[in-house]
Amino acid sequence: MKKSTFQMLSVIPAYFGSIGSLFRTHKQKIANFYIVTTAVYYLLTIVCSAVTFINVDLEVFYNEPAIKDYRDEMIKCISIWNNFVQISFYVGLSVTNYQLTTYPPDHWWIKYAKDYRRFLEKSFLSVVFPMSLYVCNTFWYVYHTNRELIYPKMIEKLVPAWYNHTIHTLPVLIVFLHLILVEPESSPLSMKTSMIIQTVFHVGYMF
């Protein structure tokens, strides 16, 4: 006997309900896996970036005016800073989680590991998340408004498209997934404290 369309559709909520139940049961394992995977991903991007820039055309790199300006100002680019922040955050969180799950509870380092994880959790909503959101949104807005101002076509001779998306697209996806998958163990900072931290960070960046 064939099932009606309604009967077949009625299975869908139950199916997704079972997935939700499975997710809630293994949420901590999923979160830890996500953090480690993200840390490994960022470490691999460092290696790939190094290999990419080792193989660049040095004549273009040093003699092309647009590239020269980009090269000289690269360290001031907030996209690069954001990448460093995310690398530090996810590698640090991965190492700390490993220590907390493998070291004995009475180990002398556990106290410091917990404090450091608490610091990282609070810094996520204060620095990591808003900075990634700002960098990605601002870059793509300016890119589609006046590309030559932020990412001249000449740069594509040196920087592959995947690297551009690594710096300006994936970070915002990563932090949104973090919000969904990773549940912090400490309470977030107040809005006032978060604003102060962001202000100090951005003032430090400008100087």
pLDDT in tens, 119-148: 888 888 888 888 899 889 988 998 889 887
Q: Is 109 helix (H, G, I), strand (E, B) or coil?
A: coil
- What is the per-residue pLDDT for 67? 64
Cβ–Cβ under 8 Å, residues 200 and 127:
no
Banded pLDDT at 92 (limits 50, 70, 90) = very high
Q: What is the pLDDT of residue 89?
A: 92
Higher per-residue pLDDT: 82 or 154: 82
pLDDT band at residue 1, thresholds of 50, 70 and 90?
A: very low
Query: What backbone phi and psi angles, to 5 degrees, belong to 30?
Result: -65, -40
From the list 193, 180, 162, the residue with the least C-alpha distance to 52 is 162
Q: Residue 3 pLDDT > 80, yes or no? A: no
* Residue 14: predicted pLDDT: 47
- Model confidence at 153: pLDDT above 90: no
Most confidently predicted of 21-25, 146-150, 194-198: 146-150
Cβ count near 203 (within 10 Å): 9
Q: Say how far residue 174 (Cα) sits from the centre of its chain.
A: 5
Distance set, CA 185 to CA 38, 88, 115, 176, 182 (Å): 19, 19, 11, 18, 9
